[in-house]
Amino acid sequence: MKNSTHISLGIHKGGILLFLLLTLGFYAKGQQQLHLSQYTLHQPFLNPASTAMSEYMNGALVYRHQWTGFDGAPKVAGVNFNVPFKKRRNFLGVTVFNDKIGVNNRTDISATYAHRLPLGQKSSLAFGLSATVALLKSNLSQVETTDDGDPVFTSDTKTFAAPDFKFGINFFMKRFYFGFALPRFLNNQITYNQGYSNDIGFDYKTLHYHLHTGYKFRLSDKFDLQTAALVKMVVGAPVQFDVSAMAEYNNLIALGAAYRSQQIMVAMANVRITKYLRLGYAYDYNFTKLRQVSTGSHEIMLVFNLVKTTQPVTIDAPRF
């Protein structure tokens, strides 16, 4: 019998059963893709085609601690860096993400190429493709079991390397964007069958489809309203959606909120701290039973965009 171990099983110190009851149904149905509350602040984290949305060197750092107060809860850290070349029609990017949940640890290292196709003077269409190496490891010896002799949990796995790919399309104008992304093509997981191995496969039924859009309303000379929506779909799981709105003053500070379909409310704020840097923070509050064991989720993001100093500072590209 083949047992999958690289799922959200590894919560120790008495929390295994509760964690599974609350979350296994959500993860096992396939909606286990990485989610950031501040996805509009730096869209290359969401869609490889969004790498072509900024004409200048840009990047971001992000850290997310989900379900704080719960032992083994997900923790995510990521970095992205992008550069344009060849008349700013072509773009290269590098992204590294570490996603840790319980005893499972996954690090994705991605190289991205994006191309921008101008559609007249006011709009563009971008295509992006990422090649990824996923490093998978499970520290299964940390799992507390009722059977001390269970061979699945007597030792940690080695680190397995697995390939993966991402693809995206993005149409954008000065104040509007609409994108589509496939965040993963392959199923990569550690399995046990008289020993640990890396199981790599493709199944179109497990493909995730992301649609995202946004529009920035000009309210006055100094105030803008940024609206955005994200829809996530996969066969066999409920459609997830995220809608948000943020009021921004003079391109300096923005405050807003979002609602996620898993009964989650998000409070968000970001501020421009220098000509090239913007710092963002998000707090998620879960209205499901998880609130009984968690005080919420925290996310912090630092974005840089090296725009020309001779032009007005528009740190919000590649965000809207």
| 316 within domain boundaries | no
| 311 within domain boundaries | no
Q: Cα 39–42–46 angle (5° rounding)?
A: 50
CATH code where residue 189 lies: 2.40.160.40
At residue 27, the pLDDT reads 36
Domain span at residue 205?
3-305
Query: Pairing state of beta strands 223-233 and 187-192?
Result: unpaired
The distance of Cα 113 from the centroid of its chain, to the nearest Å, equals: 18
At residue 18, the pLDDT reads 40
> How many structural domains is the chain composed of?
1
Q: How many Å apart are CA 10 and CA 145, to the nearest integer?
A: 10
- Please determine, for residue 168, whether its predicted confidence score (pLDDT) is greater than 80: yes
- pLDDT per residue as tens digits for the range 226-283: 999 999 999 888 999 999 999 999 999 999 999 999 889 999 999 999 999 999 999 9
| 312 within domain boundaries | no
| 278 within domain boundaries | yes
Tokens of 231: 């829809």
Burial class (CB in 10 A: 0-12, 13-18, 19+), 127: middle
Closest-CA residue to 104 (of 183, 196, 211): 196
| 252 within domain boundaries | yes
| 191 within domain boundaries | yes
- Please determine, for residue 74, whether its predicted confidence score (pLDDT) is greater than 50: yes
At residue 258, the pLDDT reads 97
- In terms of pLDDT, which residue wins out, 52 or 291? 52
The mean-pLDDT minimum among 57-71, 95-109, 306-320 falls in 306-320
- pLDDT per residue as tens digits for the range 115-154: 999 998 899 999 999 999 999 888 877 777 666 666 666 6
In total, the chain counts a number of residues equal to 320
| 319 within domain boundaries | no
At residue 180, the pLDDT reads 97
Q: How many Å apart are CA 6 and CA 13, to the nearest integer?
A: 19
Q: How many CB atoms lie within 10 A of CB 28?
A: 15
Q: pLDDT class for 43, splitting at 50, 70, 90?
A: very high
| 290 within domain boundaries | yes
pTM above 0.85, yes or no: no
Q: What percentage of the chain exceeds 90 in pLDDT?
A: 57
